[in-house]
Amino acid sequence: MSNGSMRVVENFIDGHSVATNSDEVMAVINPSTGEPIADVGASTKGDVDAAVRAASRAFREWSGLTPSERSRRLHLLADLFERELSRFADLEVLDTGKPCSSAHDVEFPAIADALRHFAGAARMSTGQTGADFALGHSFYLQIGRAHV
């Protein structure tokens, strides 16, 4: 059970932070210290259904955007992510117990780079490999759909 000062992490649905439809919470434990760092609300079927409906609406809107607008929005997301990169990496270290250098110097800069990669790819109408942002991994991007 949550103590009164513990932060409860809510769902993010349709652009808003919303409480779950359940009183149940799950503790998030820092594996390095064994100390609780937050509580996460246990989502219900209704919460998941609301998230799926919101995602369907967002997909319809996203699908109607021009490639240049998709690219612009993904670059904006990358800007916002990079601005808060250190904070996100700190939270990842608390949540997983991984070394700071792994999150700060490798994983989270790679996420920012991947966002930039996909922002550029949003302007393309054909696929390409995307191994330039993750050594030892190969990705294939298929942008758009073939219309027959």
Question: pLDDT digits over 9-68, tens only?
Answer: 999 999 999 999 999 999 999 999 999 999 999 999 999 999 999 999 999 999 999 999
Same domain, 43 and 76: no
Last residue of a domain, one of 37, 64, 91: 64
Same domain, 57 and 108: no
List CB contacts of 52: < 8 A, sequence separation 6 or more.
Answer: none
106-144 pLDDT, tens digit per residue, is 999 999 999 999 999 888 866 555 555 555 555 555 555
Same domain, 56 and 78: no
Its pTM stands at 0.76
Same domain, 33 and 96: no
Same domain, 135 and 119: yes
Same domain, 92 and 146: yes
Domain containing residue 47 = 1-64
Query: Bridge-partner residues for 36, per DSSP?
Result: 29
DSSP-assigned letter for residue 43: P
